[in-house]
């Protein structure tokens, strides 16, 4: 007698036989080709080289498991990606490494063993690699990210001095400030020490006293978004990250033509900078002002006009301001932050230390800048708005966020991509900066620790 759980094929009806045959066929396929149906597909590869770091992103249709290690002499980073086969999209990575990449010399891609692809990055110098994954967000699917940071990053103030043309002049050679703003003397001014005299002047006892040394005013300009985070996109295809970088560079050039001013850009190319890092960069160079530059977007294409925002410690000044702050604060999710290494403690400290004085100064700055912008474009709101923007939370730097226009409005998108409008916007912001300092001269300050 057969076992009670044994079922003979003859006893099955035709429908049951088909079900059993299908199940057996599926089991046979899975035994013969394990993982074939589950192999992940690389959909796109992107490379974002910058002086700060180089980012390599692999976008794929599922979460990937990786292992990595570095090798010395010569410097290399080796990454093994499990569960994938080499495909044309992944092979494109080789051609995407540029010769001027600061950190990657070249990359080699190969099938190391079945279901494992190996990437070997030949490096130009020693790096501190961060390898992490990002869950789907916005228009992106799963992402595997390699951030290659230099082991010995440059000093931010040294880099600022190196990039400025004025650095070739001695402090006494700096031109005197324009009449409408008066910087205060440096705390280390030594008025009793005359400048070195030329050979023919050594016997001239009536040499005039040297002009008082004035301290440089440092302005941090923050072009929003960048790299993996394109920001808003207009109907014509214009991307916010490109427009605001162009405006920021124009403004930087105009500011550096002013006496006693220098500029630090939080990014000077197409790469992503996390929101807290933007604040850190401004504080590292002891910035006197922080200005984040954006190009707004809204679900209705009819929305138009320029705006200026400051930080609020009492909630948003309007529903629209709260909505915009939430959207801008999500930039780290889109751009991609390594959560394990994200300095949450620093972010909370910056939040807690935001002071009433900082907000008061920010509102003063915002008011004069908004007034100047109103001369070249319609204003979306006639007053400075406030909300909890993460990028404005430097506790000791007056900080504003400028929405130059609505990129989602076809007319304003055309303006934002126009050289003349970008120039006028930069001029307007500069006038606002000069008016602010005319009434609020920068204080002497010691180096931050």
Is the pLDDT at 205 greater than 60, yes or no?
no
User: Is the separation of the CB atoms in 282 and 292 below 8 Å?
Assistant: no
CA distance 267 to 253: 15
User: pLDDT (tens digit, 9 = 90+) per residue, 149-162?
Assistant: 999 887 877 777 76
Q: How far apart are the first and last CA of the chain?
A: 88
User: Is the separation of the CB atoms in 91 and 55 below 8 Å?
Assistant: no
Which percentage of the chain shows pLDDT scores above 90? 60
User: pLDDT (tens digit, 9 = 90+) per residue, 364-412?
Assistant: 999 999 999 999 999 998 999 999 999 999 888 999 999 999 999 999 9
Tell me the CA distances in angstroms from 131 to 74, 139, 149, 186, 372, one per residue in order.
20, 21, 11, 44, 45
DSSP conformation letters of 123-150: ESS-EEEEEEEE--BTTB-EEEEEEEEE
DSSP conformation letters of 379-406: BSSSS-EEE--GGG--TTS-EEEEEEEE
Is the pLDDT at 349 greater than 80, yes or no?
no
Task: Please enumerate in sequence order all residues whose Cβ is within 8 A of that of 103, keeping only pairs 6 or more positions apart, or say none.
Answer: 49, 53, 54, 123, 124, 125, 127, 148, 150
User: pLDDT (tens digit, 9 = 90+) per residue, 246-257?
Assistant: 999 999 999 999
Q: Across the chain, what does the average pLDDT equal?
A: 81
Q: Quick one: which of 97, 127, 61, 149 has its CA closest to 338?
A: 149
User: Is the separation of the CB atoms in 353 and 279 below 8 Å?
Assistant: no
- Strand 142-150 relative to strand 76-82: parallel, antiparallel, unpaired? unpaired
Question: What pLDDT is stored for residue 164 in this prediction?
Answer: 58
pLDDT (average), residues 114-137: 95
In a 10 Å sphere around its CB, with 0-12 CB exposed, 13-18 middle and 19+ buried, how is residue 386 labelled?
buried
CA distance 370 to 383: 8
Task: Please enumerate in sequence order all residues whose Cβ is within 8 A of that of 402, keeping only pairs 6 or more positions apart, or say none.
Answer: 291, 292, 293, 294, 306, 307, 308, 309, 369, 373, 429
Question: What pLDDT is stored for residue 341 in this prediction?
Answer: 66
Question: What pLDDT is stored for residue 418 in this prediction?
Answer: 97
Is the pLDDT at 348 greater than 70, yes or no?
no
Return the axis-axis angle of helices 275-284 and 344-353, rounded to nearest 10°: 70
Question: What pLDDT is stored for residue 191 in this prediction?
Answer: 36
All domains in the chain, ordered by first residue = 42-150 (2.60.40.3500), 217-439 (3.40.630.40)
Q: What is the DSSP letter of 115?
A: T
Report the DSSP beta bridge partners of residue 309: 385, 401
Confidence of residue 189 (pLDDT cuts 50, 70, 90): very low
User: pLDDT (tens digit, 9 = 90+) per residue, 291-345?
Assistant: 999 998 888 888 999 999 999 988 888 888 898 999 998 999 999 998 776 655 4
Dihedral sign (CA 290, 295, 299, 302):
positive
Question: What pLDDT is stored for residue 296 in this prediction?
Answer: 87
Report the DSSP beta bridge partners of residue 226: 229
Per the structure block, which two tokens stand in for 157? 């103030």
Dihedral sign (CA 316, 320, 326, 329):
negative
**Number of residues in the chain:** 449
CA distance 171 to 332: 40
On the question of a cis peptide bond just before residue 216, with omega within 30 degrees of 0, the verdict is no
Report the DSSP beta bridge partners of residue 214: 185
User: pLDDT (tens digit, 9 = 90+) per residue, 73-125?
Assistant: 999 999 999 999 899 999 999 999 999 999 999 999 999 999 999 999 999 99
Residue 275: what are its φ and ψ, rounded to 5°?
-55, -50
pLDDT (average), residues 187-209: 43
Per the structure block, which two tokens stand in for 267? 């990014």
User: Is the separation of the CB atoms in 406 and 327 below 8 Å?
Assistant: no
Q: Quick one: which of 229, 260, 258 has its CA closest to 245?
A: 229
CA distance 186 to 215: 5
Long-range contacts of 443-449 (CB under 8 A, 24+ apart): 443/184, 444/184, 444/185, 444/186, 444/187, 444/215, 445/187, 445/286, 446/187, 447/286, 448/283, 448/286, 448/396
Is the pLDDT at 202 greater than 50, yes or no?
no
Confidence of residue 40 (pLDDT cuts 50, 70, 90): confident
Question: What pLDDT is stored for residue 444 in this prediction?
Answer: 56
User: Is the separation of the CB atoms in 75 and 54 below 8 Å?
Assistant: no
């Amino acid at each position: 007698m057969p076992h009670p759980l044994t079922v003979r094929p003859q006893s099955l009806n035709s429908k049951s036989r088909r079900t059993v045959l299908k199940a057996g066929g599926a089991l046979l396929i899975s035994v013969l080709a394990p993982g074939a149906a589950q192999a992940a597909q690389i959909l796109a590869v992107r490379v974002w080289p910058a002086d700060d770091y180089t980012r390599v992103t692999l976008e794929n249709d599922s979460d990937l498991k990786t292992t990595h290690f570095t090798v010395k002499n010569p410097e290399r980073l080796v990454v093994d990606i499990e569960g994938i086969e080499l495909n044309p999209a992944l092979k494109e990575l080789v051609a995407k490494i540029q010769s001027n990449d600061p950190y990657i010399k070249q990359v080699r891609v190969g099938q190391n063993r079945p279901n494992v692809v190996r990437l070997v990055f030949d490096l130009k110098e020693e790096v501190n690699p961060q390898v992490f994954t990002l869950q789907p967000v916005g228009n992106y699917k799963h992402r595997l990210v390699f951030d290659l940071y230099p082991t010995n990053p440059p000093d931010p103030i040294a880099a600022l001095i190196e990039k400025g043309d004025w650095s070739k002049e001695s402090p006494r050679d700096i031109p005197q400030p324009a009449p409408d703003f008066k910087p205060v003397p440096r705390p280390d001014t030594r008025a009793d020490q005359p400048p070195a005299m030329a050979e023919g002047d050594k016997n001239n006892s009536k040499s005039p006293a040297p002009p008082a040394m004035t301290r440089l005013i440092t302005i941090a300009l923050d072009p929003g978004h960048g790299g993996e985070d394109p920001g808003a996109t207009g109907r014509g295809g214009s991307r916010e990250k490109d427009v605001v970088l162009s405006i920021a560079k124009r403004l930087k050039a105009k500011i550096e033509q002013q006496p006693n001013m220098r500029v630090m850009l939080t990014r000077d190319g197409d790469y992503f900078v996390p929101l807290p890092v933007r604040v850190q960069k401004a504080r590292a160079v002891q910035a006197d002002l922080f200005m984040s530059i954006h190009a707004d977007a809204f679900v209705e294409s009819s929305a138009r006009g320029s705006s200026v925002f400051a930080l609020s410690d009492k909630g948003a000044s309007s529903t629209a301001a709260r909505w915009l702050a939430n959207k801008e604060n999500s930039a780290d999710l889109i751009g991609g932050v390594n959560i394990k290494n994200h300095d949450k403690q620093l972010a909370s400290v910056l939040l807690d230390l935001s002071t009433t004085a900082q907000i008061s100064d920010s509102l003063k700055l915002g008011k004069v800048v908004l007034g100047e912008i109103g001369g070249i474009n319609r204003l979306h709101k006639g007053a400075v708005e406030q909300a909890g923007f993460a990028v404005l939370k430097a506790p000791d730097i007056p900080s504003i966020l400028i929405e130059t226009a609505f990129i989602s409005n076809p007319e304003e998108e055309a303006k934002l991509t126009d050289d003349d409008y970008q120039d006028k916007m930069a001029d307007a912001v500069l006038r606002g900066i000069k008016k602010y300092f005319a009434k609020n001269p920068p204080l002497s300050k010691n180096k931050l620790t």
